[in-house]
Amino acid sequence: MEASCLELALEGERLCKSGDCRAGVSFFEAAVQVGTEDLKTLSAIYSQLGNAYFYLHDYAKALEYHHHDLTLARTIGDQLGEAKASGNLGNTLKVLGNFDEAVVCCQRHLDISRELNDKVGEARALYNLGNVYHAKGKSFGCPGPQDVGEFPEEVRNALQAAVDYYEENLSLVTALGDRAAQGRAFGNLGNTHYLLGNFRDAVIAHEQRLLIAKEFGDKAAERRAYSNLGNAYIFLGEFETASEYYRKTLLLARQLKDRAVEAQSCYSLGNTYTLLQDYEKAIDYHLKHLAIAQELNDRIGEGRACWSLGNAYTALGNHDQAMHFAEKHLEISREVGDRSGELTAQLNLSDLQMVLGLSYSTNNSMMSENIEVDNSL
């Protein structure tokens, strides 16, 4: 006996829930082929197909099925279905970089949710709008907080809109008592404040994120919060506090057995100890970063570690080791096609060659010592 549309769809749903979206998609598409006169069921299948393709990163297909779902929901006058389809379309358009269209869809999701007095839908729409504006702000090549005030007004406006939507979302999910949603909102709010250069606000938000992550025993979110707090404290000039948070990040990365995050934590600690002028500790962490980068075949990370080690050894006056790492940095930069890294390495090498030339010369005049000290700095 042939399986019905509903039976195929239910099997597709089961497979997707078990994590096998590829097989789930096959069953959903078979269900569409069999067909049904129950348009609500068909709308649900389109929605599930859109979500499955989104999960599989096939965004063009996800867009196609969410469009079908939206059209069908409107045809049968299903306002709740229209709101959900609009939200799904908005999220897909955001990933594709179509931010203005994404805003229109997410706004439609928000408007309908408010009309229906659907507070959960409203909160989700506000969060999605925050995400769209956050992504839009970052898409302009927002360089990071060190360039705060230097990015175009359009970037600032997008990031500020993201803050406004996240705060509205936070207010609503707090009223609903949804702690998990509060955690997500605080995390994104902290990240957006950080990009805007509002580092104190970023710290406040990430501290709340940390609190909620601990409540849920969510070690990955806890680790992210520690890392984000470290980053914010760096820009507040509070390097000791930053180092404490980076050490906690490192500890959790090791517990989670996440070698890439462990490498990043070691790199951050190396840079922080350089700022604290504790070059011995900086070298220790940069060597740890280098070892993991080599283990992971991360040549870019390896190059970064070599550059940092060269600088730290130069600061200690160990010019032979500095030369070794500057040469490695140059070799890796050429290999990965990093023109900027290559130029930096060449400049470092020429400076070191000059210093070493002076160090090994028999001329121990005060002048040569002065030049050595200048280059060491």
What integer pLDDT is reported at residue 355 of this predicted model?
81
DSSP annotation string for 179-245: HHHHHHHHHHHHHHHHHHT-HHHHHHHHHHHHHHHHHHT-HHHHHHHHHHHHHHHHHTT-HHHHHHH
**CA-to-CA distance for 27 and 119, rounded, in angstroms?**
33
Using the predicted structure, report yes or no on whether residue 370 has a pLDDT greater than 80.
no
* 376/4: higher pLDDT: 4
- The pLDDT-based confidence of 239 (bands split at 50, 70, 90) is very high
- d(CA 127, CA 90) in angstroms, rounded, equals 12
pLDDT above 60 (res 362): no
Q: Indicate the average pLDDT of the chain.
A: 91
Q: What is the pLDDT of residues 252-304, one digit of tens each?
A: 999 999 999 999 999 999 999 999 999 999 999 999 999 999 999 999 999 99
User: Within 13 Å, how many C-alpha atoms sit on residue 355's CB side?
Assistant: 23
Instruction: State the average pLDDT over residues 219-241.
Output: 98
pLDDT value of position 143: 53
Residue 140 confidence (pLDDT): 84
**What average pLDDT does range 141-158 have in this prediction?**
73
| pLDDT of 273 | 98
Give the Cα-Cα-Cα angle 87, 91, 97 (nearest 5 degrees): 140
DSSP state letter for 299: H
Q: What is the pLDDT of residue 373?
A: 32
pLDDT at 144 over 80: no
Task: Write down the pLDDT at residue 361.
Answer: 44
pLDDT the model gives residue 371: 33
Residues 6 or more apart in contact with residue 285 via CB below 8 angstroms: 266, 267, 269, 270, 273
Q: What is the pLDDT of residue 151?
A: 78
Structure tokens at 63: 């867009």
pLDDT at residue 87 above 60?
yes
Q: 210-216 — which CB contacts under 8 Å span 24+ positions?
A: 212/179, 212/180, 212/182, 212/183, 212/186, 213/183, 215/179, 216/179, 216/180, 216/183
Contact 76, 40 (CB under 8 A): yes
User: What pLDDT score was predicted for residue 3?
Assistant: 77
pTM score > 0.95 for this model?
no
Q: 14-32 b/e with 16+ CB inside 10 Å = b? A: ebbeeeebebbbbbbbbbb
Q: What percentage of the chain carries pLDDT values higher than 70?
A: 92
* pLDDT of res. 364: 41
Q: Which of 23-37, 160-174, 330-344 has the highest mean pLDDT?
A: 160-174
Would you place residue 377 in the very low, low, confident or very high pLDDT band (cuts 50, 70, 90)?
Answer: very low
Convert the pLDDT of each residue in 151-170 to its tens digit.
Answer: 799 999 999 999 999 999 99
Q: pLDDT above 90 covers what percent of the chain?
A: 85
Give pLDDT, residue 374: 36
